[in-house]
Amino acid sequence: MRQERMDWPGGAKVALSIVVNVEEGSEMSVARGDPGMEPVDELGVFVKGPVRNFGNESNYLYGLKAGAPRVADLLRRFRVKASWTVAAQSLEEFPDVAAAIRELGHEPVAHGWRWIHQFRMAEDEERQFIQRAAQSIERTTGTRPLGWLSRYLHTAATRRLLIEEGFLYHMDDYSGDVPFLDDRTVPGRSIVVVPYQLDTNDMRMWLTPAATPEAWLAYAVRSFDQLVREGEAGYPKMMSLGLHLRIIGRPGRIWALEEFLRHVTARGDAWIATRAEIARHYLATRPA
C-alpha cells in the first residue's frame, strides 16, 4: 500500500502543528444559562440537573489565570508558532488571552462561539453560531479565523456552512496525517481538511489515570520521531500536538511540554507551522 506524503518547506521531514485549545470561560454552566453543569471534569464529578459545579468552574478558571501565562511564555521562549483554537466567548471574557495571541503573532482558530456541542442545532442556528464566533474572534484578536474545530460532534451541514462563510480549512477529521481537499461538499467550491490527532492530546492526562506527564511526553516524542523517520524515508507527514491551558498549564505538567519543545527544536527536522500555513502550503503545492 502507498503511504501518505506531503512535501514541506525547506525539505522538513515533518510538519508540527501545536494547537492550544482555549475552552475555559465558555464551558457549560448553569450560570451561563445551560440546563446543567459541564460534564468534562478532572475529578469526574457530574450531577444531572440545574446544579452549579463551583469546583470544576474554578478548575477551568485556573487555566486562564495561571495556565495561560505559562503556556504563552514557553512558546515565546522557544520561538514556535501555535494555532489557538478558541471559544469566542472565552476571549471576550478574558481579553488578556486574546492579547497574548496577538502579541505572539499566532493564529486564532474558531472553536465555536462557546465550548458547547452544535450537533443538535438547526441549520440557521448553526450558521449564526459560526458567524458569531468568527466575528467575535476577529474583534478580540484583530484576525478573522480561517479554521474551525467543533466540540467533537457537528452536523452534516457544518462543512458546507464553513465553505459558505469563507473558511479556509476544517479540523474535524482524524482520518490521516496529511491535509486533503474537500471539493465535493459544495460544487465549484472547496475547503482544505487539516486532520487533527487525538492520541497526542494532553486531554489524556485528565481522562486516563495512567497518562502521567512522563507517559504523555514519551508518547509525543515517539510519535514525532516515528514521523521523522518516515519523512527521511521519503514520506513526510504532519503531527498535531493538542494542549489545554487548564491541563498542560499546571506546574507538574508544563515541564513535559518544555521537554517536548526542546526535543523537536534541537533536532531541526520539523517545520513548526500554524494550521493556516499548512493549509495554504497544501493549496500551493498539491498535485493538479
User: pLDDT tens string for the chain (288 positions)?
Assistant: 888 999 999 999 999 999 999 999 999 999 999 999 999 999 889 999 999 999 999 999 999 999 999 999 999 999 999 999 999 999 999 999 999 999 999 999 999 999 999 999 999 999 999 999 999 999 999 999 999 999 999 999 999 999 999 999 999 999 999 999 999 999 999 999 999 999 999 999 998 878 899 999 999 999 999 999 999 999 999 999 999 999 999 999 999 999 999 999 999 999 999 999 999 999 999 865
Q: How far apart are CA 144 and CA 188, in angstroms?
A: 23
- The backbone torsions φ and ψ at residue 276, rounded to the nearest 5 degrees and listed phi first, read -65, -40
- The backbone torsions φ and ψ at residue 170, rounded to the nearest 5 degrees and listed phi first, read -130, 135
Q: What is the pTM of this model?
A: 0.96
Position 73, amino acid: D
DSSP secondary structure code for residue 134 in this structure: H
Protein fold of 9-285: TIM Barrel (3.20.20)
Closest CA to 68 of 45, 86, 89: 86
Q: Which three cell numbers stand for residue 15?
A: 510538519
Domain residues of the chain, as ranges?
Answer: 9-285
Name residues whose C-beta falls within 8 Å of residue 226's C-beta, 6 or more positions apart in sequence. Answer: none
